[in-house]
């Protein structure tokens, strides 16, 4: 059962204990010192990437008990260190292992990971959970299609952990695992993509949401009814990206994550910038549509919030070129107007395409141009 009226930031479990511990953490000491003993959760300050950068430059991120440091990429081509203690690694591993069990991975399985293992967290996030589960894990890393295929076939790899585009390439070359754990790129957010990947591999493909900063946060189960949150590792909420106010369950907005037990660099109401919806069901917390865009560059058109990255995912689902498209906004008669130009084959039913855009974004397109050789990208706002 879904509670669609429940505000996404009601409160995490053991809130008082969590805040009491984080008040002593160098990253939050100043921000939390004036909070009341029992604050409303929505009044707890957000953590941003800008604040993390400031803390790094001030020497506030390092932890004395850290045993691993990943470098997390940040906007602008820079990076920040991500510290983890032995307790952090074990706690995340146990939470991820439980999610893998729900996804159908067994201790006797051979599992091949095609994510990087170098300075970024990548494959390590998956490795820890699989080892905690007891699976026979192959830390292959990215690329090397022929070698990956050989290992899958000779070892009888049942589970592949990979970005969907690379998994599809392996499937077209002959890889036949029974299960794909897909992350790093949109899967369910792009209409038809799961079906194409599953057809290439001949297997079930499940969507996973993870980040370098937070680790794994949510993973689908074989029921394919949304990504279930790792509730013993993170607390998730959704906010209005403009006001920062918590949104009721079911409304799309920016995902915010809080670590419940992490010792080194715990995230407290960290604004991920990712666009999603949340549902709290009897069996757990879900992201019913996965993560389907980013709030960066949000536009207000005809009184409705429009996220350009979400439009790109929608275009990809219709077989149009998400890398070559332009949103144009202008005013006419005092009202907003919206046009979309994109590279691709002209659709047989333009009206159906425009109707689907309106259903998805609650905005009517005033102009739509689909051209085979179109070149252009971004937003052109001519409203002054």
Same domain for 330 and 217? Answer: no
Domain boundary among 273, 292, 311: 292
Which residues on neighbouring strands pair with residue 180, listed in sequence order? 160, 205
Domain boundary among 242, 270, 292: 292
Same domain for 362 and 222? Answer: no
3-state SS of the chain is CCCCCCECCCCCCCHHHHHHHHCCCCCCHHHHCCCCCCCCHHHCCCECHHHHHHHHHCCCCCCCCEEEEEEEEECCCEEEEEEEEHHHHHHHHHHHHHHHHHHCCCCCCEEEECCCCCCCCHHHHHHHHHHHHCCEEEECCCCCHHHHHHHHHHHCCCEEEECHHHHHHHHHHCCCCCEEEECCCCCCCCCCHHHHHHHHHCCEEEEEEEECCCEEEEEECCCCCCEEECCCCEEEEEECCCCCCECECCCCEEEEEEECCCCCCCCCCEEEEEEECCEEECCEEEECCCEEEECCCCEEECCEEECHHHHHHHHHHCCCCCCCEEEEEEEECCEEEEEEEEECCCCCCHHHHHHHHHHHHCCCCCEEEEECCCCCCEEEECCC
**What confidence category does residue 6 fall into, taking pLDDT thresholds of 50, 70 and 90?**
low
Same domain for 343 and 259? Answer: no
CA torsion, ordered 2, 4, 7, 11, to nearest 10 deg: -10
Rounded Cα gap, residues 23 and 32, in angstroms: 6
Same domain for 277 and 367? Answer: no
pLDDT of residue 75: 63
pLDDT at residue 147 above 90? Answer: yes
Structure tokens at 43: 């009044």
Pairing between β-strand 227-229 and β-strand 234-239 as defined by DSSP bridges:
unpaired
Same domain for 273 and 306? Answer: no
Same domain for 32 and 121? Answer: yes
* Residue 327: CATH number of its domain: 3.30.300.30
Domain boundary among 276, 292, 308: 292
Q: Which residue has the tokens 């009517």?
A: 364
pLDDT of residue 333: 80
Structural domains of the chain, count: 2
Cβ neighbors of 288 (< 8 A, separation 6 or more) are: 225, 226, 277, 278, 279
For the CA atoms of the chain, what is the radius of gyration? Answer: 22
Which residue range forms the structural domain that includes residue 254? 1-292
Q: Which residue has the tokens 């252009």?
A: 376
* 228, 86 Cβ separation under 8 angstroms: no
Model pTM score: 0.86
* 189, 165 Cβ separation under 8 angstroms: no
**What confidence category does residue 2 fall into, taking pLDDT thresholds of 50, 70 and 90?**
very low
Residue range 317-342, pLDDT digits in tens: 888 988 899 999 998 887 888 999 99
**What confidence category does residue 203 fall into, taking pLDDT thresholds of 50, 70 and 90?**
very high
Sign of CA dihedral 384, 312, 269, 29: negative
Same domain for 244 and 370? Answer: no
The stretch 286-302 carries a mean pLDDT of 88
**What confidence category does residue 1 fall into, taking pLDDT thresholds of 50, 70 and 90?**
very low
Rounded Cα gap, residues 116 and 118, in angstroms: 6
**What confidence category does residue 77 fall into, taking pLDDT thresholds of 50, 70 and 90?**
low
Residue range 115-124, pLDDT digits in tens: 988 888 889 9
Alpha-carbon distances, residue 239 vs 8, 264, 270, 365 (angstroms): 8, 25, 11, 27
* 254, 277 Cβ separation under 8 angstroms: no
CB neighbourhood size of 148 (10 A): 25
* Residue 66: CATH number of its domain: 3.40.50.12780
Same domain for 221 and 310? Answer: no
Same domain for 283 and 320? Answer: no
Rounded Cα gap, residues 78 and 168, in angstroms: 31
Same domain for 134 and 239? Answer: yes
pLDDT of residue 118: 81
Same domain for 313 and 352? Answer: yes
**What confidence category does residue 65 fall into, taking pLDDT thresholds of 50, 70 and 90?**
very high
Same domain for 38 and 167? Answer: yes
Rounded Cα gap, residues 355 and 364, in angstroms: 8
Burial of 1 (0-12, 13-18, 19+ CB in 10 A): exposed
């Amino acid at each position: 059962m879904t509670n669609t009226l429940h505000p996404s930031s009601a409160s995490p479990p053991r809130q008082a204990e969590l805040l009491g511990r984080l008040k002593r953490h160098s990253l939050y000491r100043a921000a939390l010192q004036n909070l009341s003993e029992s604050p409303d959760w929505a009044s707890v300050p957000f953590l941003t990437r800008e604040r993390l950068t400031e803390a790094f430059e001030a020497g506030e991120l390092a932890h004395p008990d850290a045993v691993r440091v990943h470098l997390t990429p940040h906007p602008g081509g820079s990076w920040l260190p991500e510290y983890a203690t032995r307790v952090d690694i074990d706690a995340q591993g146990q939470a991820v292992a439980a999610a893998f069990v729900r996804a159908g991975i067994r201790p006797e399985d051979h599992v091949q990971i095609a994510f990087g293992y170098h300075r970024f967290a990548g494959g390590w996030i998956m490795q820890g959970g699989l080892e905690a589960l007891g699976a026979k894990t192959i830390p292959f890393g990215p690329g090397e299609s022929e070698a990956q295929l050989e290992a899958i076939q000779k070892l009888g790899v049942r589970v592949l952990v990979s970005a969907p585009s690379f998994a599809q390439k392996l499937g077209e070359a002959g890889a036949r695992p029974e299960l794909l754990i897909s992350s790093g790129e949109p899967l369910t957010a792009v209409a038809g993509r799961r079906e194409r990947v599953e057809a290439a591999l001949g297997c079930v493909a499940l969507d996973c949401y993870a980040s370098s900063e937070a680790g794994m946060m949510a993973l689908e189960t074989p029921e394919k009814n949304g990504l279930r949150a790792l509730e013993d590792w993170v607390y998730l909420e959704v906010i209005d990206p403009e006001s920062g106010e918590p949104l009721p369950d079911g409304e799309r907005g920016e995902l915010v994550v809080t670590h419940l037990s992490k010792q080194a660099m715990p995230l407290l109401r960290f604004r991920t910038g990712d666009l999603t919806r949340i549902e709290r069901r009897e069996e757990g917390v879900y992201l019913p549509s996965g993560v389907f865009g980013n709030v960066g560059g949000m536009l207000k058109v005809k009184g409705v919030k429009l996220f350009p990255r979400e439009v790109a995912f929608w275009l990809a689902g219709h077989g149009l070129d998400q890398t070559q498209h332009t949103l144009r906004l202008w005013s006419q008669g005092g009202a907003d107007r919206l046009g979309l130009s994109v590279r691709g084959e002209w659709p047989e039913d333009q009206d159906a395409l425009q109707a689907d855009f309106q259903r998805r974004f609650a905005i009517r397109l005033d102009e739509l141009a689909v051209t085979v050789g179109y070149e252009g990208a971004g937003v052109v706002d001519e409203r002054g």
